[in-house]
Amino acid sequence: MLTATDTAAGDATGAALAGRYRRAGLVSGIRIFDAETALSHRVRMEDAEAQVGPLHWQDKVHLILTSMWEMVTHPALLDAVEACIGPNILLYNSMYVVKEPHTPAKVNWHQDLTYWGLSDDDAQVSAWLALSPATIESGCMQMIPGSHLGGRRDHTIPERPADDDVLHHGQFIEGLDTSRAVHTVLEPGEASLHHGWTVHSSMPNRSDDRRIGMNAQYLAPHCRQLAHNQDTAVLVRGVDRYGHFGIDVPATTDLDPAALARQRAFTELIKRTYDDVRAG
């Protein structure tokens, strides 16, 4: 199987990145910062975990940790996002995605936008920034280039998600041709971007290290939440002439108790949105 850098990276800036993103629905191997900086962000995350417990799959972490806010607003990352969705950018969500070493956790083939309730397919892009090596052995993401062009696919929802599947509903796409899938191998400090309809998955971490990634979702401001009117975001570049979202308050100190309470409430809201969109 190829890696995503074999098919989608290269000159991942400006018009070249935009063209690759439109065609493939993904771009990989974008250098955001060096490995030493990636390690410092990992240490800050793990220091926070020592205080509040695991941060895997917790939403809107930029409300509680300054390290997350620094990463999601890094100019190199925002430049890449701008090439995909334009100069006006809202940060919608941020989280850590962690696979512990030698554990069975995996993600079945799926599309991100299936249960997010957002109004415009092309107004959203997801970034995945490696804080430790994302390799085939450690369970890096696999994506199918061009799969975003077919739009939403039907997902099967099991009555009881498998214990090793980290998705909220355990959803998966049946009968999928994965022969064109590529691995998005990333070194610490490198990022990939993918469209909300790009079909992707990941396998278990068979390595001796934690596989740690920062995952963030960005929106163009004309996008809106269709499921309810309680959603929030924060402008990170350009202007917002629409005001479709309440305004998030980014962290200025780490683990402020009031910020932690807000972050936990928003995590519950986002998970309820998944449930509501599925039910609707």
Which tens digit of pLDDT belongs to each residue from 64-100?
999 999 999 999 999 999 999 999 999 999 999 999 9
CA distance 113 to 227: 13
- Work out the pLDDT band at 6, boundaries 50, 70, 90: very low
Task: Please name the amino acid found at residue 237.
Answer: R
227 contacts: CB under 8 Å, gap ≥ 6 = 117, 273, 276, 277, 280
Average pLDDT over residues 34-46: 98
Instruction: Specify the pLDDT at position 165.
Output: 67
Statement: residue 1 has pLDDT above 70: no
CA distance 224 to 90: 11
- Work out the pLDDT band at 275, boundaries 50, 70, 90: confident
Q: Which position has the higher pLDDT, 3 or 201?
A: 201
Q: Among 121, 113, 111, 79, which Cα is nearest to 220's?
A: 121
CA distance 128 to 212: 10
CA distance 141 to 202: 5
- Percent of the chain with pLDDT strictly greater than 70: 88
Average pLDDT over residues 219-245: 96
Q: Which position has the higher pLDDT, 1 or 223?
A: 223
Task: Report the top-level CATH class of 4-279.
Answer: mainly beta
Low-confidence winner among 4-18, 24-38, 226-240 (lowest mean pLDDT): 4-18
pLDDT tens-place string over residues 170-204: 677 788 899 999 999 999 999 999 999 999 999 99
3-state secondary structure (DSSP) of residue 45: helix
Statement: residue 159 has pLDDT above 80: no
Instruction: Specify the pLDDT at position 170.
Output: 60
Domain residue limits, the chain: 4-279
- Which pair of structure tokens corresponds to residue 85? 């969705």
Average pLDDT over residues 230-247: 97
In degrees, rounded to 5, the angle at the alpha carbon of residue 115 between the alpha carbons of residues 114 and 119 is 80
CA distance 173 to 181: 14
DSSP 8-state code for residue 180: T
Instruction: Specify the pLDDT at position 11.
Output: 45
Average pLDDT over residues 115-124: 92
Would you tell me how many other CB atoms lie within 10 Å of the CB of residue 156? 13
3-state secondary structure (DSSP) of residue 96: strand
> Is there a contact between 207 and 98 (Cβ–Cβ < 8 Å)?
no
Average pLDDT over residues 43-49: 98
Would you tell me how many other CB atoms lie within 10 Å of the CB of residue 154? 9
Statement: residue 127 has pLDDT above 50: yes
Average pLDDT over residues 20-30: 96
> Is there a contact between 245 and 273 (Cβ–Cβ < 8 Å)?
no
Interhelix angle 75-85/14-24, nearest 10 degrees: 60
Instruction: Specify the pLDDT at position 152.
Output: 86
7 contacts: CB under 8 Å, gap ≥ 6 = 24, 145, 182
Helix H or strand E segment including 262: helix 257-279
CA distance 60 to 2: 33
> Is there a contact between 226 and 115 (Cβ–Cβ < 8 Å)?
no
Bridge partners (DSSP) of residue 143 are: 182, 200
CA distance 236 to 49: 26
Average pLDDT over residues 133-147: 98
113 contacts: CB under 8 Å, gap ≥ 6 = 121, 124, 152, 196, 197
